DNA sequence: AAGTGCGCCAACCGCTTCTTT
DNA sequence: GAAAGAAGCGGTTGGCGCACT
């Protein structure tokens, strides 16, 4: 494209902006607003393309920009959001006030990517990297590439999601987003009759019992003040090694995020502390999807179901050394880690294959 | 001091999406 | 519904500054 309508008349200036140009642009926008960007260069007396003016304003001159280095919390949030949203920088930026998509993209490419790789995490898939057997020491591969046997929960999920239900989820989400008409506040959100998948293999009778509830309703994470996050509530006793139970809040290994461990009559309940105002969701609260509108912060989010799946199940971050037990101000992101925890716990179970077959069957009912 | 390599970041490019006519 | 223009987005590039040799 190169040639915008605003650039036809005269050859636009390129390259870095001079302070004079900045001043002109600021003055003009402060006085008149930007209106149509293609007319800004002429009106402001700039020999720039309107697109270039827009970019300069958005990325550099806007008064609400937060300059300076990213905090650790911001970085963590970016990583977590990236796990959910992928390279959708503008979406990610929407959750970091004062930061631009360009800034975040640059940070990702220059810094975060490297850090994750050093920590043995594939920055694109957010899965742990593993050494390739017999290969070059430096060669690593995504864990999921290697461990694809049927006992791998991830592959089970991937298969069931990718092959049989992604299309349905997309259709569903389309309906969900387009049919939405009423706004739901953070404490009166609507619910879909979406399968709240539960496996409850008699957890009252056996120490081997595992009760897992995966709430697959996109609203559970779309309607979140700070970040969209799937809620995975799990109450389990068998999957946790004794040390977990003893250490209460401290889960060794990769996860030391924000969680509570509640002793519930012999069972250890790991509970999300997601910052949903309403706190507890129940099936009885479900309403028709017609009544539902997803909110992500203040804006409608156009997440597709397949992306949700990737975020919730396929792209679980494992940043044990990032999370150091201190609670992030962004509480809501922590539940992402819980999905990872869920996976790990299920991997310890010899029955999880069946369980996730049930998940996919459940989704089939969409 | 000069040359080189590297990282960071602002800006560009081209494509897609949205809006208007 | 189609076409055109505008805006938005994400990948990529290029230049600057710094560290190292």
Answer whether A19-59 and A72-119 agree in fold: yes
Name the 3-class secondary structure at A92: helix
Strand B neighbors by CB, 7 A: A 1-2, 13-17, 48-49, 51-52, 55-56, 59-60, 69, 102-103, 105-107, 109-111, 114, 302
Domain A19-59's class? mainly alpha
Straight-line distance from CA A6 to C1' C4, in Å?
Answer: 14
Q: How many Cβ atoms from other residues are within 10 Å of residue A120's Cβ?
A: 15
Strand C neighbors by CB, 7 A: A 1, 4-6, 15-16, 34-38, 50-51, 54-55, 87-91, 101-102, 105-106, 109
pLDDT of residue A126: 83
Q: How many Cβ atoms from other residues are within 10 Å of residue A49's Cβ?
A: 23
Assigned CATH topology for domain A72-119: Arc Repressor Mutant, subunit A (1.10.10)
Q: Which residue is nearest to nucleotide C13 (CA to C1')?
A: A15
Straight-line distance from CA A22 to C1' C5, in Å?
Answer: 26
Q: Which element (helix H / strand E) includes A82? A: helix A72-85
Please give the average per-residue pLDDT across A53-66, as a whole number: 88
Using CA of residue A258, residue A264, residue A269, residue A275, what is the dihedral sign? negative
pLDDT reading at A101 higher than 70? yes
Residue A57 pLDDT class (50, 70, 90 cuts): very high
pLDDT of residue A63: 85
Straight-line distance from CA A93 to C1' B11, in Å?
Answer: 18
**Ranges A48-57, A236-245, A325-334, most confident:** A48-57
Straight-line distance from CA A300 to C1' C3, in Å?
Answer: 29
- List bases, strand B, within 7 Å of protein CB: 7-16, 18
Q: Which residue is nearest to nucleotide C14 (CA to C1')?
A: A15
- Give counts: helices (H), strands (E), chain A: 15, 7
User: Nearest nt (C1') to A61 (CA)?
Assistant: B10
- List bases, strand C, within 7 Å of protein CB: 5-12, 15-16
Distance of CA A277 to CAs A45, A185, A206, Å?
50, 9, 34
Please give the average per-residue pLDDT across A102-126, as a whole number: 86
Q: How many Cβ atoms from other residues are within 10 Å of residue A358's Cβ?
A: 14
Straight-line distance from CA A16 to C1' C18, in Å?
Answer: 20
Straight-line distance from CA A113 to C1' C8, in Å?
Answer: 25
Rounded Cα distance, A198 and A215, in Å: 8
User: Per-residue b/e over A139-178, b at no fewer than 16 CB within 10 Å?
Assistant: ebebbbeeeeeeebbbbbbbbbbeeebbeebeebbeebbe
pLDDT single digits (tens) A296-318: 333 333 333 333 333 333 334 33
Ranges of each domain in chain A: 19-59, 72-119
């Amino acid at each position: 494209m190169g040639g915008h309508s605003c650039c036809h008349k005269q050859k636009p200036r390129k390259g870095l902006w001079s302070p004079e140009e900045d001043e002109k642009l600021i003055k003009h926008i402060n006085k008149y607003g930007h209106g149509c960007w293609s007319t800004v260069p002429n009106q402001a007396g700039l020999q720039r393309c309107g697109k270039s003016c827009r970019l300069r304003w958005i990325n550099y001159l806007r008064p609400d920009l937060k300059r300076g280095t990213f905090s650790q919390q911001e970085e963590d949030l970016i990583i977590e959001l990236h796990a959910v949203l992928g390279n959708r920088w503008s979406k990610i930026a929407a959750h970091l006030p004062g930061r631009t998509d360009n800034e975040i993209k640059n940070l990702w490419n220059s810094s975060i990517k490297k850090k994750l790789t050093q920590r043995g995490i594939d920055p694109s898939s957010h899965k742990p990297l593993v050494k390739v057997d017999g290969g070059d020491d430096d060669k690593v591969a995504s864990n999921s590439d290697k461990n694809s046997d049927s006992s791998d929960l991830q592959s089970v999920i991937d298969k069931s999601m990718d092959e049989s239900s992604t299309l349905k989820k997309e259709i569903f989400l389309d309906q969900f987003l387009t049919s939405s008409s009423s706004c739901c506040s953070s404490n009166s959100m609507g619910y879909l009759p979406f399968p709240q998948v539960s496996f409850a293999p008699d957890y009252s009778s056996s120490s081997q019992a595992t009760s897992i509830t995966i709430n697959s309703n996109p609203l559970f994470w779309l309607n979140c003040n700070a970040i969209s996050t799937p809620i995975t509530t799990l109450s389990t006793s068998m999957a946790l090694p004794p040390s977990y139970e003893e250490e209460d809040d401290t889960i060794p290994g990769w996860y030391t995020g924000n969680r509570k461990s509640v002793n519930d009559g012999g069972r250890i309940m790991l509970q999300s502390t997601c910052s949903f105002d309403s706190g507890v969701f129940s099936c009885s609260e479900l309403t028709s999807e017609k009544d539902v509108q997803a909110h992500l912060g203040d804006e409608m989010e156009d997440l597709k179901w397949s992306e949700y799946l990737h975020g919730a199940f396929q792209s679980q971050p494992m940043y044990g050394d990032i999370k150091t037990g201190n609670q992030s101000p962004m509480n809501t992101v922590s539940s992402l880690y819980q999905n990872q925890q869920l996976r790990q716990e299920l991997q310890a179970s010899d029955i999880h294959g069946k369980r996730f077959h049930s998940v996919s069957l459940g989704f089939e009912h969409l």
